[in-house]
A and B are shown apart, each in its own frame.
Chain A
Amino acid sequence: MSDPVTALNHLSSGDGIAHIAEIGPLGMITLRGDLRARAIQAAAISIGRVEFPEMRHCNSAGENGIAWMSPDELLVMCPYAEVGEALTKMNTTLAGQHALAVNVSDARAVFQVTGPYLREVLAKLAPVDLDPGVFTPGMFRRTRLAQVPAAFWMRDDQTAQIICFRSVAKYVFDLLCMAAQPGSEVNHF
Chain B
Amino acid sequence: MSTRLATGGRLLNKSKPLGFTFNGKQMRGYEGDTLASALLANDQMLVGRSFKYHRPRGIVAAGPEEPNALMNLGAEGRFEPNARATTTELFEGLEANSQNHWPSLEFDVGAINKHLSRFLPAGFYYKMFMYPRSFWKHVYEPFIRKSAGLGKAPKARDEDTYEHFYAFCDVLVVGGGVAGLQAAKTAGQTGARVIVMEQSEHWGGRALVDGGTVVDDGPVDKFVEQIFSELEAMDNVQLRSRCMGAGVYDHGYALGYERLSDHKPGRDGPRHRLWRVRASHVITATGALERPLSFAGNDIPGVMLAAAVRDYAVNFGVSVGDRTVVVTNNDNAYLTAISLKHAGLDVPAIIDARVLSQDSAQVAQAKALGIRVMMGHAIASVKGTKRVTGVEICAQAGEGAVLEEISCDAVAMSGGWSPVVHLWSHCGGKLRWDAVNACFSPDPDNPPKGVDGMGFVTPAGAASGVFALDDVLNDAHAAAEGVMTTLGLRLPKDSAAPVAEHRGDAPMAPVWMMPQGANVKLREKAWLDYQNDVKVSDVRLAAQEGFVSVEHAKRYTTLGMATDQGKLSNINGLATLAGALDTDIPNVGTTTFRPPYHPISMAAIAGEAKGHVFQPIRRTPMHDWHNNNGAEWEPVGAWRRPYAYPKPGESTHNAVMREVTNTREKLGLLDASTLGKLIVKGPDAGRFLDMMYTNMMSTLKIGKCRYGLMCSENGFLIDDGVVARIDADTWLCHTTTGGAENIHGHMEEWLQTEWWDWNVYVANVTEQYAQVAVVGPNARKALEKLGGMDVSREALGFMEWADGDLGGFKCRVYRISFSGELSYEIAVDAAQGQAFWDALMVAGNDLGVMPYGTEALHILRAEKGFIMIGDETDGTVIPQDLGLHWAISKKKEDFLGKRAQERSHMTDPARWKLVGLETTDGSTLPDGAYAVATGTNANGQRNVQGRVTSSYHSPTLGKGIAMGLVLNGPDRMGEVITFPGTDGKDYDARIVDPVFYDKEGEKQNV
Contacts and interface: CB of A to CB of B under 8 A. Distances in A.
Contact of A179 (B163, B616, B679, B832): B163
Given A107-B767, A147-B616, A188-B238, A1 B808 contact: yes
Contact of A30 (B168, B763, B831): B763
Interface stretch (A45-53, A55-63, A97-105, A154-162): A97-105
B767 A106 contact: yes
Contacts of B766: 107
Interface in B635-683: 638-639, 679, 681-683
B781 interface: no
A41 B1003 CA distance: 51
B765 A104 contact: yes
Contacts of B809: 1
A32 B730 CA distance: 14
A131 interface: yes
Interface in A125-173: 125-131, 134, 146-148, 165-171
A107 B830 contact: yes
Contacts of A99: 761
B769 interface: yes
A127 B612 CA distance: 22
A37 to B, nearest CB: 12
Interface string B547-577: 0000000000000000000000000000000
Contacts of A4: 829, 831-832
B166 A102 contact: no
B276 A107 contact: no
Nearest to A2: B835
Nearest to B169: A131
A99 B617 CA distance: 33
Interface string B799-843: 000000000111000000000000000000111111100000000
Contacts of A148: 616
Interface string B262-279: 000001111001001010
A98 B683 contact: yes
Contacts of B163: 124, 178-179, 184
Interface in A1-21: 1-2, 4-7
A183 B612 contact: no
B269 A2 contact: no
B811 to A, nearest CB: 10
A123 interface: yes
A120 B615 CA distance: 22
B942 interface: no
Contact of B269 (A30, A103, A183): A183
B616 A102 contact: no
Given A30-B763, A131-B168, A146-B608, A182 B269 contact: yes
A100 B619 CA distance: 27
Of B273, B620, B832, chain A has the most CB atoms within 10 Å of the CB of: B832
A29 to B, nearest CB: 10
Given A25-B831, A171-B616, A181 B270 contact: yes
Of B167, B609, B809, chain A has the most CB atoms within 10 Å of the CB of: B167
Given A175-B613, A184-B270, A102 B168 contact: no
B923 interface: no
B830 A171 contact: no
Interface string A80-107: 0000000000000000001110111111
A11 to B, nearest CB: 12
Interface of A is mostly: loop
Interface residues of A, number: 53
Contact of A124 (B164, B679, B683, B832): B164
B769 to A, nearest CB: 7
B168 A170 contact: no
Contact of B167 (A1, A2, A32, A188): A188
B143 interface: no
A167 B273 contact: no
A32 B761 contact: yes
Contacts of B759: 98
A65 interface: no
Contacts of A186: 165, 273
A10 to B, nearest CB: 13
Contacts of B769: 106
B768 interface: yes
Interface of B is mostly: mixed
A129 B165 CA distance: 11
B159 to A, nearest CB: 13
A165 B268 CA distance: 31
B422 interface: no
A124 B608 contact: yes
B543 to A, nearest CB: 47
Contacts of B638: 168
B608 A179 contact: yes
A186 B617 CA distance: 28
A160 B524 CA distance: 66
A77 to B, nearest CB: 15
A23 to B, nearest CB: 14
B679 A174 contact: no
A129 B164 CA distance: 14
A4 B269 CA distance: 37
A146 B274 CA distance: 13
Of B163, B613, B638, B639, chain A has the most CB atoms within 10 Å of the CB of: B613
Contacts of A126: 166
B329 to A, nearest CB: 44
B44 interface: no
Given A126-B166, A165-B767, A1 B810 contact: yes
A5 B835 contact: yes
Contact of B615 (A147, A184, A185): A147
A127 B608 CA distance: 14
B455 interface: no
Contact of A178 (B168, B608, B679, B829): B608
A106 B831 contact: yes
B608 A2 contact: no
A106 B829 contact: yes
B877 to A, nearest CB: 29
A186 B618 CA distance: 30
A186 B166 CA distance: 11
A102 B763 contact: yes
B161 interface: yes
B765 A123 contact: no
A174 B613 CA distance: 7
Contacts of B52: none
B616 A181 contact: no
Nearest to A133: B193
B269 A181 contact: yes
Nearest to A177: B613
Nearest to B752: A72
Given A33-B761, A100-B679, 19 more contacts: A1-B810, A32-B763, A72-B761, A98-B683, A103-B829, A106-B831, A107-B766, A124-B165, A124-B608, A131-B168, A146-B608, A146-B609, A165-B767, A167-B620, A174-B613, A179-B163, A183-B267, A184-B269, A188-B238
Nearest first, the 10 closest Cβ-Cβ pairs linking A and B are: A183-B268, A183-B269, A4-B831, A167-B618, A106-B830, A107-B767, A100-B761, A2-B835, A107-B768, A129-B168
9 contacts: A72-B761, A98-B682, A102-B768, A103-B768, A108-B767, A124-B163, A125-B608, A183-B269, A188-B167
